[in-house]
Amino acid sequence: MLRGLAGALLALLVLPGVGVLAAEAAGRTPRPAIEPAQALTQCIAPAEVMRREHPAMLAHQRDDTVRGGVRGAKASLRGCIDCHAGAATHSVAASPKDFCVSCHAFAAVKIDCFECHTGTREGVR
Amino acid sequence: MSDSPKRADGGRRAWLGAAAAGVAGVVLAPGVRLIEVARAAPAKTAGADPAVRWGLLIDTTKCAPGCEDCVRACHAENGLAPPTRPTDARWMRKVEIKEMKTGRQASVPVMCQHCAEPPCVDVCPTGASFKRADGIVLVDRHRCIGCRYCMMACPYKARSFVHEPLAGQKPEVPRGKGCVEGCTLCVHRLDRGQALTACAEACTRAGHGAILFGDLNDPASEIARRVRELQSTQLRADLKLDPGVRYHGI
Amino acid sequence: MKTIAATRNFWLLVAVGGLVTAVGLGAAHQMELHGHVITGMDNSIVWGLPHVFAIFMIVAASGVLNVASIGSVFGQPAYKPRAPLSGLLCLALLAGGLMVLMLDLGRPERVIVAATHYNLKSVFAWNVLLYSGMAAVVVVYLWTMFERRYKAWSRPAGMAVLLWRFVLTTGTGLIFGFLVARQAYQSALLAPLFIVMSFAWGLAVFLVVQAAMYRWNDRRLPPELQHRLARLLGIFIAASLYLVAVYHLTNLYFERQAGFEAFILRDGGVFPLLFWGGYVLLGSVLPMALLLHPRPPGEAAVLAAALLVVAGAFAWLFVFIVGGQAYPLDIFPGHVASSAFGDGQVATYRPTAPEWLLGLGGLGAAFLLTTIGVRVLDFMPQDDLPTARP
């Protein structure tokens, strides 16, 4: 009976995973379609570095900005948004193709930045 | 014709020089544009200055009952919807007061008093409520857990809690559901070099001249001179919190 | 040996407790999704019904350990076998109370931030450390009582628990005591008041749970012990009433507090009603009459008195927490004030369903943990006196 139970448990754990992978292969979750940032510009660091380090960079910078009053520094969120805002939406978080949302939705990493911060570039209504 | 080659060289050099300058210009110009675009925000600022103490001097003798210019300007500047319900956020309000014994009335704009000894900072469990080096008392919404203890502690009812999800925030004033907020002395304007808070600017522009903003620590500033001349008081001065907002006429 | 009936009853209780807890969690989820606008709280009443439930449970959690302290620290033999149950109830109530408190936060997902960033000037931050530490200390204490070879350590552990809960309950009282802004608080008396309240509320909860367990197991508490516990509860109620009286009498003496006291004691509508009718009459005078009567009270009377004390506690906490916020801040002493932000006005508060459900969910969680605890481990007090029902 125990063996049967163990088998059932194993199946319960493995089958959904297989199902998800199958769906993946069928393209159920689209790869991120990131709108490129403005032409002839370069990010503050190479893409591989940014991909790994941007949470730490933003987390560090926000303390400098909020508590220290430092504005316009290298890793300022406003700076990121101004460059990476999509051409159509002028935002990094308004549509599924926008910069931040697209990758985060694919990676299934929920961010709460845009509950408070608007993703829209400055100067746009 | 020994000059000719030199002249020709000079001419060629000049032409080459001009051409080189032209090419350099063509090559570098996009680069200049690149720097311009990639750093859309102004250059990095130095941060809050501990030698400064920002404050307000409010002359209530110049405040008309029913005038809400300062309140409207504050809410417009910071992206607050016009408040109608008790759950709506208000960063400042006009309080109409009447002295019970004499009947004397006054109209008083009240906002976060930016105390030097803020009770809200003492009680905040995570340190989200903090006093910046230049005296402005702020809420670090990255750390605020929404416990509302600071709202219990504030003697001036300065703070509001955001009761619903928000959208369409101003880019320079992030605010959201579940955090506590209050008057920031327009810190986003100050950090960018603007001289006045939205309320002071609106009151001055409308010609009332009731709100004066400036550096209390700078003896040469207008606010410092005015508080030396004009009688002014702090709200609930008995609590010894040393607010940065002073009132004349109450 | 567990009978089929007992097992069936256990799962029934777990189902009920689980359902109540689940509904409470669902209510918290709605609050997190839609924001506090679905509650009755606003910018004037910032702490509402969930806080009433949470603070009751947390204070009772501290007080319920009195039984254990009297046994382990003061060496009273009748209380020693009750110490493990007392410890379990502390953990269960603490869990329930903290659950409600944390889920009522504006950003409950940031509890990790609260656990990693401490402003040590804040008594709230200290309480976060004290509550979690309390749970750990009580676990160790329970372990010394259950593990035979550690029995010698149960006295020092009991002493540690006693000291810890004194500090903790003092901290809970000072959460309010340190608020200089509000006329209802700003008093050092709140620390000892909360400690004495914890004795009364904790013992009341203990008596209710003990009565239920005894009845469930067809046992009977020895009458002498029943009488002693009843008397003790009566004394605790009297001591609480004394401190509440001192608090109000002092306030009444200060002219600047006169308006606030008139509001709480006479003019404030629901608040005087709950204070006099709920706390004083039903929650103090009536239970004292039942418990301190020269003729020893019966089982039913003790149970009724304990339940009344709990009801009185909720009434008092509502008046204290909500009434203290409803009375307007005195920003302009000597003036009448009015504004669009409620200055100078008494604030109204009507709790909505999510708040009730969240609070009850906390009680449900405490109930669930207690039920599972007494099923899994032996918390039934084993007296040397005959306890079987005739």
Give me the pLDDT at residue B43, please. Answer: 72
Query: Quick check: A59 pLDDT over 80?
Result: yes
Which residues on chain B place their C-beta less than 8 Å from a C-beta of chain A? 30, 33-34, 37-48, 130, 132-134, 138, 140-142, 165-166, 168-172, 174-177, 179, 187, 191-192
Task: Give B211's pLDDT tier (boundaries 50, 70, 90).
Answer: very high
Is C132 in the B-facing interface, judged by CB distances under 8 Å? no
Give me the pLDDT at residue B137, please. Answer: 98
C-alpha–C-alpha distance, residues B143 and C107, integer Å: 10
Alpha carbon separation from A33 to A82, A85, B121, C171, C317 (Å, rounded): 19, 14, 44, 53, 55
Please state which CATH number belongs to domain C4-376. 1.20.1630.10
CA neighbor of C24 nearest in space, from C53, C60, C59, C45: C53
DSSP, res A123: T
* Residue C130: both structure tokens together: 């004290």
Degrees, nearest 5: CA angle C94-C98-C99: 115
C-alpha–C-alpha distance, residues C230 and C219, integer Å: 18
Contacts with C, B 18-57, CB within 8 Å? none
Please state which CATH number belongs to domain B54-248. 3.30.70.20
Q: Note the pLDDT tens digit of each residue in A98-119.
A: 889 888 988 889 999 999 999 9
DSSP B132-156: -TTS-EEE-TTT-----HHHHH-TT
C-alpha–C-alpha distance, residues C300 and C307, integer Å: 11
Q: Note the pLDDT tens digit of each residue in B63-80.
A: 999 999 999 999 999 999
Query: Quick check: C87 pLDDT over 80?
Result: yes
Within chain B, how many helices (H) and strands (E) appear? 7, 9
How near does any CA of chain C get to the CA of B210, in Å?
A: 19
Lowest mean pLDDT among A20-29, A74-83, C172-181, C253-262: A20-29
Give me the pLDDT at residue A25, please. Answer: 57
C-alpha–C-alpha distance, residues C85 and C380, integer Å: 7
Query: Quick check: B3 pLDDT over 70?
Result: no
How near does any CA of chain C get to the CA of B229, in Å?
A: 24
Residue corresponding to tokens 């089958």: A15
Query: Quick check: B37 pLDDT over 50?
Result: no
If one compares B28 and A74, the residue with the highest pLDDT of the two is A74
If one compares A105 and C275, the residue with the highest pLDDT of the two is C275
Secondary structure class of C338 (helix, strand, coil): strand
Give the rounded percent of residues in chain B with a pLDDT score beyond 90: 81
Which residue in B has a C-alpha nearest to residue C179's C-alpha?
Answer: B153
Is C346 in the B-facing interface, judged by CB distances under 8 Å? no
Determine phi and psi for A38, rounding to 5 degrees: -60, 145
Give me the pLDDT at residue A26, please. Answer: 54
CA neighbor of C278 nearest in space, from C247, C234, C244: C244
CA atoms within 13 A on the CB side of B205: 10
CA neighbor of C35 nearest in space, from C113, C101, C107: C107
CB distance C58 to C94 below 8 Å: yes
Q: Note the pLDDT tens digit of each residue in C109-159.
A: 999 999 999 999 999 999 999 999 999 999 999 999 999 999 899 999 999
Give me the pLDDT at residue B24, please. Answer: 63
Query: Quick check: A24 pLDDT over 80?
Result: no
Lowest mean pLDDT among A108-112, B186-190, C207-211: A108-112
Query: Quick check: B12 pLDDT over 80?
Result: no
Interface pTM, i.e. ipTM:
0.93
Give me the pLDDT at residue A31, please. Answer: 79
Q: Cβ separation of B127 and C118 shorter than 8 Å?
A: yes
Task: Give A122's pLDDT tier (boundaries 50, 70, 90).
Answer: confident
Least CB–CB distance from A40: residue in B30, B172, B177: B30
Q: Cβ separation of A67 and B140 shorter than 8 Å?
A: yes
pTM: 0.89
If one compares B210 and A36, the residue with the highest pLDDT of the two is B210
Contacts with B, A 75-94, CB within 8 Å? 76, 78-79, 81-83
First to last CA, chain A: 66
pLDDT, average across residues B199-219: 97
C-alpha–C-alpha distance, residues B166 and A118, integer Å: 10
Where are the domains positioned within chain A? 1-30, 32-125
Give me the pLDDT at residue B41, please. Answer: 46
Q: Which amino acid type is present at position C375?
A: R
Alpha carbon separation from B60 to B64, B105, B207, B208, B212 (Å, rounded): 8, 10, 14, 10, 11
CA neighbor of C251 nearest in space, from C196, C309, C192, C190: C190
How near does any CA of chain B get to the CA of A30, in Å?
A: 27
Give me the pLDDT at residue C231, please. Answer: 95
Q: Note the pLDDT tens digit of each residue in B47-64.
A: 899 999 999 999 999 999
Nearest-Å Rg of the Cα atoms of chain B is 26
pLDDT, average across residues C310-330: 98
Query: Quick check: C103 pLDDT over 70?
Result: yes
Query: Quick check: C387 pLDDT over 80?
Result: no
Give me the pLDDT at residue A18, please. Answer: 80
pLDDT, average across residues B178-197: 95
Task: Give A38's pLDDT tier (boundaries 50, 70, 90).
Answer: confident
Give me the pLDDT at residue B45, please. Answer: 85
Task: Give B195's pLDDT tier (boundaries 50, 70, 90).
Answer: very high
Phi-psi category of residue C255: left, alpha or beta, with phi > 0 → left and psi -120 to 50 → alpha: alpha
C-alpha–C-alpha distance, residues B72 and B75, integer Å: 5
Lowest mean pLDDT among A110-119, B20-29, C330-339: B20-29
| Alpha-helical runs (H) found in chain C | 4-34, 49-63, 66-72, 83-103, 111-116, 123-146, 154-177, 190-216, 223-253, 258-262, 270-272, 286-291, 299-318, 324-326, 353-376
Least CB–CB distance from B148: residue in C34, C47, C110: C47
Q: Which residues contact C280 (CB under 8 A, 6 or more apart)?
A: C241, C312
Give me the pLDDT at residue C120, please. Answer: 94
Q: What burial letters (b/e) apply to A75-99, b meaning 16+ CB within 10 Å? A: bbbbbbbbbbbbeebbbbbbeeebb
Where are the domains positioned within chain C? 4-376
Give me the pLDDT at residue B17, please. Answer: 66
C-alpha–C-alpha distance, residues B132 and B115, integer Å: 11
Q: Pseudo-torsion of CA B159, C113, C60, C387, nearest 10°?
A: 160
Supply the mean pLDDT for chain C: 94
Q: Cβ separation of B157 and C331 shorter than 8 Å?
A: yes
pLDDT, average across residues C318-336: 97
Give me the pLDDT at residue B38, please. Answer: 40
Query: Quick check: B27 pLDDT over 70?
Result: no
pLDDT, average across residues C357-364: 98
CB distance C368 to C21 below 8 Å: yes
If one compares B42 and A3, the residue with the highest pLDDT of the two is A3
CA neighbor of B204 nearest in space, from B25, B57, B11: B57
